[in-house]
Structure 1
Amino acid sequence: MRHLAPALSKNSVTQLDPSMITRHQRQLLIPLFVLSTLLSAKGTVWATEPAKPNVVYILADDVGWGDLSVHGGGVPTPNIDKLFAQGIEVSHFMGWCVCSPTRAMFLTGRHPIRVGTGPEVGGELSLDETTIAEGFKANGYRTGVFGKWHSGSDPDTPAFRAAFAEAFKAIPNKQFAGGHGANAHGFDEAWVYYGGGADFFNRRTVQGRGPVSWWHNREFRPDDEGYTDDLVTQRAIEFIRENKDQPFFCYVPFHIAHAPLQAKENDLAAIDSKTAAKLPTASGKTSDEGKHIHAAMLHSMDNNIAAIRDELEKLGLSDNTIFVFTSDNGAMEAGSSLPLRGHKHTIYEGGVRLPTAIYWPKGGLTGGRKWNGLCGALDMFPTLMAMTDSTMPKTQPLDGKNVWPALRDNQPSPVESYYFIWHDEDAIRTDRWKLHRFHGRYELYDITIDETESNNIADSHPDVVKSLSAKMDAWAESLGAAISHQPAPKKYHVPAAPDGEVLAVTVTITDKAKPKDRLVINIANWIGTQYATDWIDFDIAFSPTSPKKHPYFSTLEGNNSKPFGPLFKPGTSVDQFGRDQSTGPGIADVNSVWEHRIIGLSSTAPGPLSKHGIVFTGGTPGTFTVYLDNLRIRHADGSTTPLWSSGKDTRAGKFTPSDLFTDLKIRTINVSEVRP
C-alpha cells in the first residue's frame, strides 16, 4: 500500500479516467480513499507529524526580582513559584529598564536603539520590522496578544479620532498621530491598550486624561468594563479555547504591577495590610497603603497566571505548551528588586535582570533546575522559533541568538553580551562582568561573585575596563547610537562654518544672581521626533566679556504650564571635545572666534524634542552675548534637519525681567559683526 500512495493519492484518484482503471486498482480504491482521509484528518497519530508546541508568553509589567516569593519576596506568589519549581529558571535573563524597549526586543529580536524604541519609552514600531508574531503566523500558528502593547500609538479610526477630539477639546490644536496597531504586526487577535500607566478601573485612561485606550483588533471599545488584567486573562483564555485544535502563540503582556496602584477589594482582603507595611520597596518612600495595594496587585496577577495554566491543563495542552513567565523591567517604586541593586529606571541588575521561568514538559524543560546562561528578551524570537521547529522568517539582521540548544542541554550560552544605554551612562553585561560607563568614570563588577554590584573593581582591573569599553564602542557604532555622555566619534568632527545671518542673544546678569540661578531662553522649535541615533550640532561664539562659565545651548523640556528647563544636565551633554555643556565651556582654541559642537541625544530619545534654547547662569554680573548658527539635528543616515539657520527660524519664548536677569535682546546680525 505505501508504495502505491504516491501514484494513487487522493488528488490523482479523483482525476483518473474510469476506463483506465484496472480490476486490481478498483479493489484498492476504497481502502485508498479511507487512507487518504486518515492522512488528512488532524490528530491521527500514525498519519501526521507530531503536533507543534503552543507558546504562551507572559510578560509582567514592572515586576522586579524581589517581588516574587520564590526570590524571597514578602508577598505570597504560590502559582508563579510553582512554575519556577516545575520548569527551568533562566537566572540571567536581561531586558531593559523601562517598558517599551523590552517589548521591542522581544517582538523583533533586535536592539531597541536599532528599531527606534529606546532608551526611553515610546516609539512606533516600524512595519519594516519582522515580528515574532509574523514568524509564528508564517509557520501556521494562530497569533494573539492580550494586554499592554506599548509599541506604538492607538490606531487612527474615525471612532478614536472623535474620542480624541472630545477628550482634548480644551486644546483644539493638539494633534493626534495614529499608530499601526498590534494587528499590523502579525497578530490575528488583539485585545490591547496602547499607552502606559492606564487606570485599571477608569476605563483605561492615563491619569484621567485623554480618551480610553481599549481595543479589540481595530474596533475601539471604550465602554468595556472590568479590571484590566482580569479582562486580559479572560480574552487570553478564550483565545486558547478557540484555538485548542491548532498551534497558537499567545502573548500576554499584563499591566500589573505598573502604576497607578489600584487593586480589587477581594485582592486587598487576601493580603494582610500589617504584613504588607513591612515590605521593602525600591523607593523606600511608599506609604503603607501603597504597599498593601501593590501586594494585592501581585496576588491578582498570581491568580490570573494560575487561571491560564489551569485552562491549558483542562484542555490537555499543558504538556506541549511552552509557557514563559518574565517581566519587562525591574521593580517600580512600590516593588522590590532585592537583593539586586537598582530598580526600574536604572541599568544596574535590579533594573534589567528579570525573573524568568520556562516550563515545557514535552521539551524536557522541567525539574526546577536553574540555567545560568546569559540571554534575554532579544533572544526569544530565534529561540522560540527553534523550540517549535519553525522556520525563521526573513528579517533584518538580528541581535538575538538562538539559545535553545544551550538551554536544553544545560550548556553555556552563545550570547556574548548585552548592551544598555540610559541617560548619563551606558553599560555592558557579559556572563562574568558588568561595566558601567559614565562621563569621566567607570564602575566594574564581577557578577559571578558580586551580583549585587557592591564592590567596584574598575581601578584594579584596567585591562578588563579597556576590553569591555572597546566592546561598548563596537555596540554603539553598530547601533549608530548618539551617546549623550561620551564624545562623538571623529567622523563627526568638522570646523565651524557660520555664514550670513547669525543669531545673537544678549542678557544682563545682575549682581543678585547667584551661580545656582539660571535663565533659559527658548530660541528654536521643531515639530518632529528625535531618536537615540540623532545628534545636535551647531556653531557657537561668545562676546569677549563672557564670564568664566559661558552661556550654553541646551535642548529644553516644558510646556505652557511648566517652566522650561535644560535637558542638558551634568553628565548628559558631552561634546566632541569631552566637555560637559552644563559647565559652560568656552572656545577650546583661544585663537578662534567660532567653534563647532556636536552632542548626542540618546539620553532623551525617543520622542518629541521640540524646543531648544540658551541657558545663562548667575555668579558674574555684566551683559553677555552668545551667538549661534547652523543649529540642526543630524540623523543616522547623514541627513540633517535645520532648527535655526536664519532669522526666519527664531522662535523666542516669553521673557519676564527680574532682579536677576534683565535686558534680553534676541536678534540677527551679520557674521562679520561677531568680534573676538
Structure 2
Amino acid sequence: MVGEIHSFLLVASCTLVSSSRPHIIFILADDLGWSDVGYHGSVIKTPHIDALASEGVKLDNYYTSLLCTPSRSQLMTGRYEIHTGLQHRTIDMMQPLCLPIDETILPQKLKDRGYATHMVGKWHLGFYRQECLPNNRGFDTFMGFYQAMGDYYYHNVSTGKFNGWDFRRDNDVIAERYAGQYSTHVFADEARDIISKHNPDVPLFLFLSFQAIHFPLQVPSRYADIYNTLIPNSADRRTYAGMVTCMDEAVGGVVATLKHSGLWENSVLVFSTDNGGIHSLGGNWPLRGGKASLYEGGVRGVAFVTSPLLPSRVRGTINKELLHMTDWFPTLVRLAGGHLMGNKRLDGYNQWDTISQETPSLRNEILLTINPLKRKPNHFVDDPYADTDSFDILMRAAIRVGDWKLITGPTGNGSWVTPAEFGFNSLHPEERTHSVELYNVIADPNERHDYSRDRPDIVGALLDRIGHYYKTSVPVLNPPQEVTRADPALHGGAWSPWR
C-alpha cells in the first residue's frame, strides 16, 4: 500500500502531435475554491474556463499546498516545501527570506531550451535581495507585484504604519502610472501584449499569476452586479463571485489572443489554483475546510490542461490519477525537451503521459506538509497514538497514500463551509478527541468519517511514511522581520529589496 516509486530520472516520453518545444502558458489563480468554477456546479459564471476545461483534461485528483508561498515554491522547483525550507507559512513583507537562490527553477530550465520567459502578476517568493527577484530567477520580463496581496486599483500594500507601492515592470515602479486600473485587467492586457508581439518561431513560456481571488474584495461593479439575484444574501460573496468572473473573462481574452496570433495550435495551457478558497467566502463545498487547512478544501485544487496537441481521445475527459503541484516542473521541462540532470533531487514526476495518454500516475503518495513550528498541545486524555515513536503526532503534518489520508497536529479549520447562495448554515465537526485523523478520501472525499481508531495498521504505516519524509526535511526558514530596513519610506515609497 505504501510502496514508493524510486525512479528519479523520469524520462517518460512526451507524446505530442507537433513541435518538441510547444508554447507553454501557465495560468495560476489565487485562492480559487473547488466549487467556484461552473464545471463544478457553481452559480459563479466561468464560461471561458469551463469551455477550456471541457476541451482538455480536467484533473480531478490534484493537490497543492495549503498556502500561497509553499505552493508556488513547489511549482517552481518540483520539490516539496520541506526540502526548500518554506514549509511554515507565507513570506511576510519584511522578512529577509526568499525561495533559496541555489534552487534551479522552472523558467531557468526552459530558458536552457531556448524559451522566451515572461511572468505577469503575483510573485510571493521573496524580494529582500536583488537575487530573489523574478528577473534574476530566469524570467526575461516581469510585470506584477512581489507580495501576497495589495490594492487591486492602487497597487499599494499597507501594514501598520508602513505603506508602499508594489507594482513593477522589471525593476521600475509603475504603480502610479496604473493607479485606478484594476489589476486583473492590467495583467490580462500585459499577457495579451506579450503574446501578440511574440515571434512564433521562438518557444514561449508565459506564467500568468493572477492576483484574483485573494483579499481584498474588490471588483468593478458590473461584475458583482451579475450576482444581485443569484446571491442576494451576501454582498461580499457577490464581490467575490464578480472577481472570479472577471478573471474568467481575462482568461478568455488571453486564449483569444493566442488563437489570433497563430500560437494556439502549438500551445499547452495549464490552469491551476495555488490552494483552496478562503473559508468565509471561497466555495470549497462539499469538501471540508479551506485555505490554510489540511482537509481537502485546503489542498485539493481546481486544475486542467488543454491543448490542440492533446490526442483527441483524451480531450473532454476527467483524469482521476494522483497528481501534485511539484509534478509541473519535471512535466513541463520534459515537454519542452529539456533534461532534469543537475537539479537537486525532485519530488515531482513527469506526468505528461498520465495526462495525455491516460497511463497510471507515477506516484502513489503525496506529502502534503510537515511543519515542526506548528504543534498542538496534547490535552487529550485518551489519545491512542500518544506513544508512537515513528513521528511526533503533535506536529502539523499530512500525507496521502493510495486512498488514505493521514493528518496530525493542528489541522486548520475543519468546517464544511457552504457558499452564501446555498442559503443554509455551514456544518461544524464534533470536538476533536485525539491528535491523529485518518480518512479514505476516495470512498469519503468530504472527510466525514475518521478511521484512525478503526485502522491502526494503516495509521502506523502512514506515520512511518511521514517519519521517513521528516528525516529528509531541511530546517524551517523563518527569520524575524527587519522592520527598520524594509520600510518603503527608505526606498522611494515602494516595497523594494533592502539588502
Specify the TM-score bucket, using the shorter chain as the normaliser.
Answer: 0.7 to 0.9
The answer to whether the 8 A contact 2:20-2:336 is kept is no
Q: Which of 194, 202, 222 is matched with 1:239 structurally? A: 194
Deviation per residue, 1:630-651 (Å, 9 max, x gap): xxxxxxxxxxxxxxxxxxxxxx
- What is aligned with 1:452? 446
- In the TM superposition, 1:526-565 aligns within 5 A as 533=475
- What is aligned with 1:483? none
- What is aligned with 1:429? 400
Deviation at 1:207, TM superposition (A): 6.1
The answer to whether the 8 A contact 2:120-2:144 is kept is yes
Distance 2:342 2:183 in 1: 35
Deviation per residue, 1:154-187 (Å, 9 max, x gap): 666xxxxxxxxxxxxxxxxxxxxxx621111100
- What is aligned with 2:236? 290
The answer to whether the 8 A contact 1:199-1:206 is kept is no
- What is aligned with 2:106? 132
Deviation at 1:205, TM superposition (A): 2.2
- In the TM superposition, 1:591-670 aligns within 5 A as 606-608=478-480
Q: Which of 98, 103, 119 is matched with 2:67 structurally? A: 98
Deviation per residue, 1:173-231 (Å, 9 max, x gap): xxxxxx62111110001102001121101233246942101111122223231111211
The answer to whether the 8 A contact 1:244-1:315 is kept is no
- What is aligned with 2:24? 55
Partner SS state of residue 73, structure 2: helix
Partner SS state of residue 238, structure 1: helix
Distance 2:20 2:440 in 1: 44
Distance 1:188 1:103 in 2: 19
Confirm or deny that 1:266 pairs with 2:240: no
Confirm or deny that 1:377 pairs with 2:330: no
Partner SS state of residue 113, structure 1: helix
Gap regions ≥5 residues in structure 1: 1-48, 157-178, 279-287, 481-532, 535-604, 611-676
- CA separation of 1:316 and 1:130: change in aligned 2, threshold 3 A: same
TM (normalized to structure 1)? 0.58
Confirm or deny that 1:190 pairs with 2:142: yes
Identity, % of aligned pairs? 28
Deviation at 1:241, TM superposition (A): 1.8
The answer to whether the 8 A contact 1:154-1:194 is kept is no
- What is aligned with 1:356? 303
The answer to whether the 8 A contact 2:227-2:242 is kept is no
Deviation per residue, 1:605-648 (Å, 9 max, x gap): 634289xxxxxxxxxxxxxxxxxxxxxxxxxxxxxxxxxxxxxx
The answer to whether the 8 A contact 1:60-1:257 is kept is yes
Deviation at 1:374, TM superposition (A): 1.0
- What is aligned with 1:112? 81
- CA separation of 1:207 and 1:231: change in aligned 2, threshold 3 A: farther
Confirm or deny that 1:405 pairs with 2:353: yes
Q: Which of 277, 299, 314 is matched with 2:260 structurally? A: 314
- CA separation of 1:346 and 1:50: change in aligned 2, threshold 3 A: closer
- CA separation of 1:274 and 1:87: change in aligned 2, threshold 3 A: same
Partner SS state of residue 444, structure 1: strand
- What is aligned with 2:155? 203
Distance 1:361 1:478 in 2: 40
- CA separation of 1:272 and 1:609: change in aligned 2, threshold 3 A: closer
- What is aligned with 1:340? 287
Deviation at 1:459, TM superposition (A): 1.4
Partner SS state of residue 275, structure 2: coil
The answer to whether the 8 A contact 1:135-1:393 is kept is no
Deviation at 1:262, TM superposition (A): 0.4
Distance 1:227 1:356 in 2: 25
The answer to whether the 8 A contact 1:118-1:606 is kept is no
Deviation per residue, 1:286-326 (Å, 9 max, x gap): xx221111011011000000000101111122222110111
The answer to whether the 8 A contact 2:227-2:241 is kept is no
Partner SS state of residue 202, structure 1: coil
Confirm or deny that 1:253 pairs with 2:202: no
The answer to whether the 8 A contact 1:56-1:249 is kept is yes
Distance 2:469 2:297 in 1: 22
- Give aligned pairs, total: 408
- What is aligned with 2:421? none
Deviation per residue, 1:517-563 (Å, 9 max, x gap): xxxxxxxxxxxxxxxx25xxxxxxxxxxxxxxxxxxxxxxxxxxxxx
Partner SS state of residue 205, structure 1: strand
Partner SS state of residue 142, structure 2: strand
Partner SS state of residue 96, structure 1: coil
Deviation at 1:382, TM superposition (A): 0.3
Distance 1:50 1:457 in 2: 48
Distance 1:466 1:148 in 2: 40
- In the TM superposition, 1:485-496 aligns within 5 A as none
- CA separation of 1:97 and 1:277: change in aligned 2, threshold 3 A: farther
- What is aligned with 1:614? none
Partner SS state of residue 28, structure 2: strand
| Greater relative contact order, per chain length (Cα 8 Å cut-off, separation 6+) | 2
TM (normalized to structure 2)? 0.78
- Amino acid aligned to 1:431: G
Computing the radius of gyration from Cα coordinates, the structure with the larger value is 1
- What is aligned with 2:175? 222
- Bigger share in strand: 1
Distance 1:250 1:320 in 2: 14
The answer to whether the 8 A contact 1:139-1:390 is kept is yes
- What is aligned with 1:602? none
